[in-house]
């Protein structure tokens, strides 16, 4: 190289990861960020960060304030991700509220007529604004958020109904378009050994004394226990293991009640590394689509890999003077990934027909 050649201060050498990413993207354009990261044996966060200063990927600043302005965007598409798959919802954000259901975790809570989402601010690490133009498609604009290990858990995507001026103002105010430093993600953690309570009898007694399911996290922390082994050891009155086909059983039986005036509404919750997204209303029975299990609802759908589903339980928790029953499904790492329960006001008695359907699951 000519020693007298001038190099622009904004020049950034191409990393090996970025060069590999460009090659994989050209060879497999339809895989998407998750597929590309698996091929390159890296995290989604590392892959997006490798594009900084080379493509239209900009880190976000003051994300807490940004979340409070999401309602200005009008209609958007919200996607949440876990190792199982993804959930999608199209609609509008409202202004969030601070949620302190668990004193150990600060969360932002969004509620609309058919969506409920909680963001765990302590698990959020890095966010970026992205502008892509896939082959033969229009420009795609999104906000993406990652945890400390670089796992993407949330994507907010602009759609034709999105307020373009509000989106532009959001990017102008919160995206850093100057030369940006790459975030330092932590190494992927080894799967930890799941721990049951040391005194299961005492735990069961305290389970009975809960006044609301929100107290569960405090109970688990006090006993230094993990949730899945608790369900595996609880009395069958509180937690009963059922087959993975129970998800299909439940939704088919519920769909068969379509002509009934007192039909209970269902709420499906999808859990990720950094947030929980719940939708309510009419849930369609699961169907296979490209080897993925798809559950459709009015404003979106859930897509998941059925091979990642490991265990399912019918769980009963105290709530007020009664109980709340749910179907809870776990992945191979012992993480809760899906939950279905009746949608009802807190502490209101369960619908008896709904309870009978759960009792019949096998």
Q: Which residue has the tokens 């990861």?
A: 17
Q: Which of 108, 128, 115 is nearest to 77 (CA)?
A: 115
Q: Would you say residue 192 has pLDDT above 80?
A: no
- CATH number of the domain that residue 144 is part of: 3.40.1570.10
- Whether 342 is in a domain gets the answer yes
Q: Examine the domain organization and report whether 84 and 166 are in the same domain.
A: yes
Q: Examine the domain organization and report whether 134 and 224 are in the same domain.
A: no
Q: Which two tokens stand for residue 126?
A: 């890095």
Residue 347's pLDDT band (cuts 50, 70, 90): confident
Q: Examine the domain organization and report whether 150 and 205 are in the same domain.
A: no
**Mean pLDDT for the chain overall:** 89
Non-local (6+) Cβ contacts of 243 within 8 A are: 312, 362
| Per-residue pLDDT, 24 | 95
Q: Examine the domain organization and report whether 88 and 237 are in the same domain.
A: no
Which pTM was predicted? Answer: 0.89
Q: Examine the domain organization and report whether 328 and 216 are in the same domain.
A: yes
Higher pLDDT, 180 or 336: 336
Non-local (6+) Cβ contacts of 321 within 8 A are: 347, 349
- Whether 260 is in a domain gets the answer yes
Q: Which of 185, 119, 123, 144 is nearest to 57 (CA)?
A: 144
Over residues 277-300, mean pLDDT: 87
Over residues 116-122, mean pLDDT: 90
- Whether 193 is in a domain gets the answer no
- Whether 134 is in a domain gets the answer yes
Q: Examine the domain organization and report whether 129 and 215 are in the same domain.
A: no
Domain assignment of residue 263, given as a range? 200-359
| Per-residue pLDDT, 11 | 41
Q: Examine the domain organization and report whether 242 and 153 are in the same domain.
A: no
Q: Examine the domain organization and report whether 149 and 223 are in the same domain.
A: no
Q: Which residue has the tokens 């993406």?
A: 144
Distance CA 59, CA 149 (A): 16
| Per-residue pLDDT, 261 | 59
- Whether 189 is in a domain gets the answer no
Distance CA 296, CA 283 (A): 6
Over residues 97-119, mean pLDDT: 85
What are the tens digits of pLDDT across the range 202-253?
A: 999 999 999 888 899 999 999 999 999 999 999 999 999 999 999 999 988 8
- Whether 213 is in a domain gets the answer yes
Q: Examine the domain organization and report whether 164 and 89 are in the same domain.
A: yes
- Whether 186 is in a domain gets the answer no
Distance CA 187, CA 189 (A): 6
- Tally the domains of the chain: 2
Q: Examine the domain organization and report whether 224 and 328 are in the same domain.
A: yes
Residue 277's pLDDT band (cuts 50, 70, 90): very high
Backbone angles phi, psi at 57, to 5 degrees: -130, 120
């Amino acid at each position: 190289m000519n020693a007298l050649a001038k190099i622009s201060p904004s020049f950034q050498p191409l990393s090996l990861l970025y060069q590999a990413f460009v090659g994989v993207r050209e060879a497999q354009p339809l895989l998407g960020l998750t597929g590309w990261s698996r091929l390159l044996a890296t995290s989604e966060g590392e892959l997006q960060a490798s594009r900084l200063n080379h493509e239209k990927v900009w880190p976000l600043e003051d994300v807490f304030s940004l979340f409070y302005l999401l309602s200005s965007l009008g209609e958007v598409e919200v996607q949440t991700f876990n190792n199982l798959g993804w959930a999608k919802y199209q609609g509008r954000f409202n202004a969030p509220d601070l949620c302190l259901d668990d004193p150990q975790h600060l969360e932002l809570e969004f509620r609309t007529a058919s969506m409920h989402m909680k963001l765990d601010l302590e698990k959020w690490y890095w966010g970026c604004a992205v502008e892509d133009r896939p082959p033969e498609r229009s420009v795609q604009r999104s906000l993406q958020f990652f945890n400390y290990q670089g796992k993407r858990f949330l994507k907010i995507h602009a759609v034709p109904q999105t307020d373009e001026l509000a989106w532009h103002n959001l990017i102008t105010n919160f995206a850093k378009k100057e030369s940006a430093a790459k975030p330092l993600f932590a190494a992927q953690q080894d799967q930890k050994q799941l721990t049951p309570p040391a005194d299961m009898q005492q735990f069961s007694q305290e389970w009975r004394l809960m006044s609301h399911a929100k107290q569960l996290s405090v109970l688990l922390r006090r006993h230094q226990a993990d949730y899945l082994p608790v369900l595996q050891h609880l009395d069958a009155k509180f937690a009963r293991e059922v087959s993975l086909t129970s998800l299909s059983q439940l939704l088919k039986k519920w769909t068969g009640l379509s002509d009934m005036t007192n039909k209970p509404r269902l709420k499906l919750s999808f859990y990720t590394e950094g947030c929980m997204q719940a939708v309510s209303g009419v849930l369609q029975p699961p169907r296979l689509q490209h080897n993925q299990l798809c559950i459709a609802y009015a404003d979106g759908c859930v897509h998941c890999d059925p091979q990642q589903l490991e265990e399912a339980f019918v769980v009963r928790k105290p709530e007020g003077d009664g109980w709340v029953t749910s179907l809870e499904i776990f992945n191979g790492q012992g993480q809760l990934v899906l939950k279905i329960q009746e949608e009802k006001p807190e502490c209101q008695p369960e619908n008896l027909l709904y309870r009978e359907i759960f009792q019949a699951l096998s």
